[in-house]
Structure 1
């Protein structure tokens, strides 16, 4: 089993970051096991070949620390999943 992870801070709310995390997984066809609306600080999902976990920790009302982790028997798949999910969250901009 291979694991790839990365951390970053996003200037956005906890709720928005959790929502982005879930959307990032759903858009990749992942089955969500621990959804954003579960009341916690993480979203977990997977498909047959890879599992991903996104943990969101509020630092202030408008800033959230995140870690994106992906696990697979295929190191390249785990790395690619981690990178794609992280990029989706980082690049997403809230429009009100």
Structure 2
């Protein structure tokens, strides 16, 4: 099993970050398993090939994010992490 992850901060609210995280997983064709509806800070989803976990933590005037992917296929884990992160950064900056 391989893991690819990255962290960064964006100027966004927690609610918007979690909503965009769910949409990022849908854009990758992943099934969402946990939407953080219980007041949490993470959205998790996947399929038979890859699992992706996005955590959004509110900071002063921003949100700290981590995008982690797990797969037995190293290239798929890396590509999924990169694609999800690209979606998130593009959506947050253009919102």
CA shift, 1:25, in A, is: 0.2
- Whole-angstrom CA distance in 1 between matches of 2:39 and 2:26: 18
RMSD over aligned Cα atoms: 1.0
- Matched residue, 1:8: 8
Shift >4 Å, 4+ stretches:
none
Between stretches 30-39 and 51-60, larger displacement belongs to 30-39
1:5-62 CA-partner distances (Å, limit 9, x unpaired):
00000101011111110000011111111114342100000011000000010002x4
TM norm structure 1: 0.92
Residue ranges of structure 1 left out of the alignment (5+ in a row): none
TM norm structure 2: 0.93
Residue ranges of structure 2 left out of the alignment (5+ in a row): none
CA contact (8 A) 1:51 1:72 kept: yes
State how many pairs are aligned: 93
- Matched residue, 1:19: 19
